[in-house]
Amino acid sequence: SLSTRRLGDCHQKLELGIGLDMPNAVGDRDMASLSCVSRGASARASSTWKHDTRKFGPQHALDKQSDAAWKSAPSSEGNDSSAYYEVYFQRPAFVHEMRLQFQGGFVGMDCTVYRKKQQHAEGNGDDGEEWEEFDELYLDPVDSNDIQNFPAELDSDSIETREPCTSLRIEFERSTDFYGRIVIYSFEVWGAEVNK
C-alpha cells in the first residue's frame, strides 16, 4: 500500500539503506533525502487544485507521513505556460536521483528538469537567478501509480566537474489527464550535501 512504501522519514530510510542503489561515485552511507521537510525542504508549484493549498498544496508531495498529494489545477486552453513543481533544499547539494510517485491517469509528461545554484534568502521564491537546464537528470515518466526512479546520468567527467544546486524545478509540457491535471503523491530528491 501507499503508506507502507512511504513509511518513515528521510533519516530512517538512510539508516536502513532502503532504495540506495544509485550508480555513482558517492557511497550509499553519504546519500540523504534532500527533499525531506524535517530537514528544511520546501516546495512551490504552478497551481493548486481549487486554490486549496491546505488540502492539495505542493508541500504534501514532500510529506512522507501522509497520503495527501499535490494536485494541480486543470490547464487552461490556450495557456502557453507549463505546469511546474519546484523543491528548495535550503542547502547546496549534489543531486543523484529523483523518485516520483504520480497518481495513474494524472501523470506529468514531456518533462524538463532545471536547477538553481544559489541559496534563496527566504527559503524559496524569486531571487533573480535564472533556472538552468539540468542535462544530467532526464525524466520520462510512465502512466502508473508506482514509484519511478530517475538517476542522474553521471560519468567520471561530470562527477568531477559538477556543481551543487539548492533547488530543482520540473516543467511538465502535458499530462495524461484530459484536462491537464497532475497529481504527485511523493516527490523525493536523493543526493549528497556539500560539506562546508
pLDDT digits (tens, 9 = 90+) for 110-150: 999 999 986 544 545 555 678 999 988 999 999 999 999 99
Return the bridge partners of 44, or none. 86
Residue with more model confidence, 29 or 79: 79
CB within 8 A of 133, min separation 6: which ones? 112, 113, 114
- Does 25 have pLDDT greater than 70? no
Summary mean pLDDT of the chain: 78
Strand, coil or helix: 88: strand
